[in-house]
Chain A
Amino acid sequence: MLQVDNKTLSTWERIKDSDIYHSFIKSPTAIVSSTILFIIFFCSFFVELITPYNPFDPSSLSLMDAFTPPSWTEDGLAKFILGTDGQGRDMLSTILYGCRISLIVGFSAIIFSLILGVGLGLTAGFFGGKYEMIVMRLTDVQLTVPSILMALLVDGIARGLISREMHDEMAIYVLIFAIGISEWPQFARVSRAATLVEKNKDYVSASTIIGVSNIIIMFKHILPNILRPVLVIGTIGLALAILAESTLSFLGVGVPPTTPSLGTLIRLGNDFLFSGEWWITFFPAIFLVILAFSINLLGDWMRDTLNPKLKK
């Protein structure tokens, strides 16, 4: 009998033993950016537990507190660390609530485009022929339209189709669809290219010879093997999706001001910028920069670690 070695490793031991784990604890960028992201995610999703104020509860707001500057300035109040906006809402709480909306929209949009893009790319690469040609030309067409324009277009059509009362409720879904539909081509391209490589490998032939059906080969064998590159561009795509959401909200076609996202907050604060109340737009903007920057840094680190070609 050929003995490999006796102990079978547990999942945690496997992770601790992996190159990814080691590259992670050796990279300050990865640690810092993922710590920041963890704090942001945690604070946004448990915002009710963290902040004493609910900016969306009109009874708790007092117009007397409006335009309070940050606490360290001359007129600042200790209870509003980052100051308040024109309606007396605490900026920090509003930002965290807004960040939650931005993250939900960003994640949903990227998952939507991942499913669409990988589904089309995988099947196109696997089946080939006319179907592949149609899908790939479609991605080419999609890529010639700037994604903001595409999102504006979708939003415009949705406004035409959905009644005004319904619109505020539906806005977030329209936004997710609009961003998702403009991001899928890159996922389709990457997954098709990876599928073309994988489907010629012997393990796929072996499954075919055994008699496994195409659907199972695609999803059980090929899909897990192409996920690496897809997840890497997915991470970078997440930052893009959050920025796209903010841009659309800034332009006024995104989520309504009643449930503001980061972009909406920046737009609202923009009106006060020249009258001296800089903090109303500055803090949401800097928060957005930190969020997008951390995701990008983490994405870059993932790309460098998971890409075997860049390994030394």
Chain B
Amino acid sequence: MTFLKINNLSVDYEMRKETVNAARNINIEINKGEILGLVGESGSGKSTVGNAIINLIDEPGKVSSGSVILGDINIHENSRSIVKYRGNKIGLIFQDPQTSLNPILTVGEQLIETIQAHLKLSKEEAKNKSINLLKEVGIKDAEARFDNYPHQFSGGMRQRVVISLALCCEPELLIADEPTTALDVSIQSQILELIKKLTKERNLAVILITHDMGVIAETADRVAVMKSGNLVEIGETKKILTNPQENYTKSLVSSVPPTNKKISRFVIVEKENSDKKKNNIKILNRWTKKEIIDQDLVQIKNLSKSFDDNFFTESSKNSVMAVNDVSFDIKEGESFGLVGESGSGKSTIAKMIVNLFKPTSGDIYFDNVCITKIKQRSELMKFRKQIQMIFQDPYSSLNGRLKVKDIVAEPIKLHNPSISNIDLNNYIYDLLESVELTQNSADRYPHEFSGGQRQRISIARALATQPRLLVCDEPTSALDVSIQAQILNLLKDLQEQLNLTILFISHDLPVVRQMCDRIGVLKDGKLCEVSNTEDLFLKPGHEYTRELLRLMPKIESIYN
């Protein structure tokens, strides 16, 4: 029997310039004991639908039509009745466990407060109930941890507390908005297991909002695909993922990097694939292409970096080893992947290679020259030119006060001050076209572009000095999956035609598998293993690698 029924729900945001339809005529039904995945890219309206169910739409948005029927009551009938259901019949889990708990109250106080707000229980009964809840969500030693503050819990544990808060008034519907996006893979899988377990045990109806197809494949019974406020397709997860009917769903599924095999390019369904000629990289004739010789371009020897606050402490006891005795080589022309969870030191290594940080000990050799010991600026400039970097956050990596052409012109003018204006402009246009942007992008400011386009500008800027090594620090993790596929395709094309060497840093194993020839796995600043990509995925040598592979959400799991 249908438990929750969303009828023709529309949400409009009236902005200064136009009215944005964040959700348009959405019809969704959910049964008890079922997990419905709500999937879509950023701006598709998936969170809006989640918030609209409990009428938590921020100004200037409003629910313009439709009804939400829970059991057999229309909970949208008047705006005051909905307050009764929030927290009571409907529980909520948000993305960031850091901000969804009050940092100055203990976990116990927050639980008791919430329970007493909805149920008529004495303080003692409420306490017993909350301890049972903490046990149920898998917090060990719940009696003792009851009096802890949120900061004393790790990220995953905190999310468990958030779940226990959502459950404390026996809700029948649980809305989880990106519950694992802020967490590492290993913790993500635990939280998803917990949600699955609770769904069965408590016979809950769960709406799981996420952008991650892997999470959907492993958790959801049915899936609803959303695109720019519209419901594209809804059905059983297996059916949707293996045999999508709509074009959009097809492109979404094909953009997800497969975890079990390496493909040469991502298939972009929506874009007109036919007129996309290869070999259109215009900067090729300006490029002094290096022939690939079988040698190491980068050698990293016993690299260590510690961050310590030497203002207060003389001893190095308190210092944190962000990178601890790491050695590996990158061959000319290859893609080398560095994988690890947050805090594993992968970005620190990247920043030492591009010379933003000085290593505490150890050396980095580039083309057989030790670049960590260079003192002279003119010497350093030679290497600055050859090593360029692409950053994770496309919003902070471009100076918003400069036009795109000035951003791209900066490295060109710096390394070739005598370049004429006409030549400079042509070079900028060639660079922009090589990253598939139009020439008229040059006169615009970065805020006029989307995340993926900004990342392309970033790539154009990095290519302007004709580097040999491109360090990519999580270049796609801030992007939607279909944009990610395009950017990864672009990087592959560029590498192939310009003989680039790429150091690719990511936490996302499937992406690394598609991009890299060899992979190094980092944990807590130490290198666990380095091996060829296929070997690493088929027969991992290190315990930690096996663990990572086991836990990564696999979209293919649906086929079995």
Contact = CB atoms under 8 A, between A and B. Distances in A.
Interface in A1-20: 1-4, 6, 8, 19
Given A2-B453, A8-B443, A211-B381, A312 B59 contact: yes
Given A203-B398, A221-B399, A209 B384 contact: yes
A87 interface: no
B444 A8 contact: yes
Interface of A: 1-4, 6, 8, 19, 22, 201-203, 205-212, 221, 224-225, 312
Contacts of A205: 351, 356, 389, 391, 397
B317 interface: no
Nearest to A206: B397
A106 B148 CA distance: 56
A206 B389 contact: yes
A2 B436 contact: yes
B415 interface: yes
Interface of B: 16, 59, 351, 354-356, 380-381, 384-385, 387-389, 391-393, 396-402, 410-411, 414-415, 433, 436-438, 440-441, 443-444, 448-449, 453, 456, 458, 461-462, 465
A22 B461 contact: no
B399 A4 contact: no
Contact of B441 (A4, A19, A201, A212): A4
A221 B410 CA distance: 11
Helix, strand, loop or mixed for chain A's interface? helix
B436 A211 contact: no
Contacts of B461: 206, 210
A1 B356 contact: no
Contact of A225 (B393, B400, B438): B400
Nearest to A8: B443
A1 B380 contact: no
B352 to A, nearest CB: 12
Contacts of A210: 384, 388, 410-411, 414, 461, 465
A201 B458 CA distance: 14
28 contacts: A1-B437, A2-B436, A2-B438, A2-B453, A3-B438, A4-B444, A4-B453, A6-B440, A8-B440, A22-B16, A201-B396, A202-B391, A202-B392, A205-B389, A205-B391, A206-B458, A206-B462, A207-B410, A209-B384, A209-B387, A210-B388, A210-B465, A211-B384, A224-B399, A224-B401, A225-B400, A225-B401, A312-B59
B436 A4 contact: no
Contacts of B400: 225
A166 B249 CA distance: 83
A209 B351 CA distance: 9
A203 B397 contact: yes
Contacts of B397: 201-203, 205-206
Contact of B385 (A3, A203, A211, A312): A211
Nearest to B387: A209
Contacts of A221: 399, 401-402
A141 to B, nearest CB: 21
Nearest to A221: B399
Nearest to B392: A202
Contacts of A209: 354-356, 384, 387-389
Contacts of B381: 211
A191 to B, nearest CB: 15
Give the 7 A-B residue pairs with the shortest CB-CB distance, closest first.
A202-B397, A211-B384, A202-B391, A224-B401, A210-B411, A201-B396, A203-B399
A212 B380 CA distance: 12
Contacts of A4: 438, 440-441, 444, 448-449, 453
Contacts of A206: 389, 391, 397, 458, 461-462
A221 B399 CA distance: 7
Given A8-B443, A211-B415, 15 more contacts: A2-B437, A2-B438, A2-B453, A4-B440, A22-B16, A202-B397, A203-B397, A205-B391, A206-B389, A206-B462, A209-B355, A209-B387, A210-B384, A210-B388, A225-B400
